[in-house]
Amino acid sequence: MTQTLKLRHQPGWLLDADATLKGLQAEVPWQQDSIQIFGQRRLLPRLTCWMADPGFAYTYSGEQQIAQPWIPRVLDLRCAANAFAGCAFNSVLINLYRDGDDRMGWHADDEPELDPSAPIASLSLGATRSFRFKPKGRGPDSRERHCLELGHGDLLLMDPPTQQHWLHELPRRRRVSQPRLNLTFRLLRPS
Ligand SMILES: O=C(O)CCC(=O)C(=O)O
């Protein structure tokens, strides 16, 4: 099973991580989305922003997302991620976890709009948080677990076919009081 989990973790990949974190916190137009669970609207436990090239649509957490225009700081990061990953990413989902109570549950980045042959490039800034993987299926390896600690300036590439076989999550960590920001650069197929 582990042969389908294709990860490349580059600790300290971004050199000006401090300035980037501060700049993004101030410049990104953050919003707090909500989702419908058992007939009730619940706020997501994080702030988000989705940026994409014109003409691309994306639905996640059950909601169609409205793309925000790219801002220069994120375009610079996209350029560096493109060069490193060998991919021309056309969208990014940015998450701000205000403290260790903010989190993201088990899921895979396998929506039909995403190009399954492209990697996902995930840049972390701020507080170090655990990032966990478990297999999607119920087969003999279903109890397998993997965990990375993603720190300030780290880049994680999730190469195909990771999203087809594995779920990932960013669990709650109550002892973490500092914010963490994460950008996942993605390649969407034209709609
Ligand atoms: O915050 C992270 O490291 C992961 C974010 C994530 O799983 C996602 O955007 O799909």
CB of 93 sitting under 6 A from ligand 1: yes
- C-beta atoms surrounding 142 within 10 Å: 11
Structure token pair of residue 13: 């990949």
Ligand 1 center–CA 96 separation, angstroms: 10
User: Residue 76 Cα, ligand 1 centroid: separation in angstroms?
Assistant: 20
| CATH number of the domain to which 176 belongs | 2.60.120.590
| pLDDT level of residue 29 (50, 70, 90 thresholds) | very high
Atom of ligand 1 at shortest distance to CA of 95?
1
191 lies in some domain:
no
pTM summary value? 0.95
130 Cβ contact partners less than 8 Å away, ≥ 6 residues apart: 147, 148, 149, 150, 170, 171, 173
**Residue 1's pLDDT band (cuts 50, 70, 90):** low
Which tokens belong to 14? 């971004």
What was the pLDDT predicted at 139?
Answer: 83
Give the number of domains in the chain.
1
The 10 Å Cβ neighbour count of residue 22 is 12
152 belongs to a structural domain: yes
Residue in 99, 130, 184, 186 to alter for ligand 1 test, most ligand atoms within 8 A of Cβ: 184
Question: Of 13, 95, 103, which is best to mutate to test ligand 1, by the most ligand atoms within 8 angstroms of its C-beta?
Answer: 95
Residue 170 CB less than 6 A away from ligand 1: yes
Provide the token pair at 82. 């493109």
Distances in Å between the Cα of 21 and the Cα atoms of 69, 145, 186 are 19, 30, 20
First to last CA, the chain: 32
> Which residues constitute the domain of residue 101?
2-186
Report pLDDT digits (tens) over 68-89: 999 999 999 999 999 999 999 9
pLDDT tens digits for 132-177?
999 998 888 889 999 999 999 999 999 999 999 999 999 999 999 9
Distance between CA 160 and CA 120 in Å, rounded?
Answer: 9
